[in-house]
Amino acid sequence: MKIFSLFTFLVLISSGCAKPEPDNPGSRNSVCKYSGNSANEQYCATTYFQLLANPSSYEGERVLVQAWAVSINGKTVIFPTKDSLNGAETVSSIVLVSGSELEQINRRLKSDNGIEVPRRMAIGGVFKQNIEGKDGKGQLSGFDVDRFGALTEVDRFSFR
């Protein structure tokens, strides 16, 4: 009986020390909580602040975030808060670069009299961080100022 108890104890101890293996390594981001209505429209539901704090964790991921959007020089730019938008904190801003919904978003950001109005929205697209290269410039070119990153393949949005 002592041997059985000792054997059971050792098995329990050793199994508690084992490193858990992911179900499907490399296929999904462990920091993401995925949501979506179909298998080909899965978004990593996260916060804008998580993107800012851990950008490499979301690089290349299809993300869904809440943000404040405004059109600047013909491009739609999002900010984490209304204060960062009003303060023109470009280093925390993300440019919407491509996607099927860009034209609709730009149209909806304009009021009836044609003035562009900042609006709160939920937006989905593929996140790309603007990583600084050896020359001191970000890898994403063509922006008016240094931006935190870009959303490509923007295919989902709703105004709040």
Taken in order of first residue, the domains within the chain and their CATH numbers are 31-159 (2.40.50)
| pLDDT on residue 107 | 84
Rounded to the nearest integer, the mean pLDDT of the chain is: 77
Q: Nearest Cα to 140, choosing from 49, 75, 66, 62?
A: 75
Q: What is the mean pLDDT of residues 69-79?
A: 88
The tens digit of pLDDT for each residue in 121-159 reads 999 999 998 865 444 455 565 565 678 899 999 998 998
Exposure b/e, 122-144, CB count within 10 A at least 16 = b: ebbbbbbbbeeeeeeebebeebe
Q: Select the more confidently predicted residue: 79 or 38.
A: 79
| pLDDT on residue 99 | 92
Find out whether 51 and 57 touch, Cβ atoms under 8 Å: no
Q: Select the more confidently predicted residue: 30 or 76.
A: 76
Q: Nearest Cα to 156, choosing from 25, 58, 44, 51?
A: 44
Provide the token pair at 48.
Answer: 């804008």
Beta bridge mates, 128: 150
| pLDDT on residue 139 | 55
| pLDDT on residue 75 | 84
Asked whether residue 89 carries a pLDDT value surpassing 70, the answer given is yes
Most confident segment among 14-18, 92-96, 146-150: 92-96
Enter the pTM of the model. 0.73
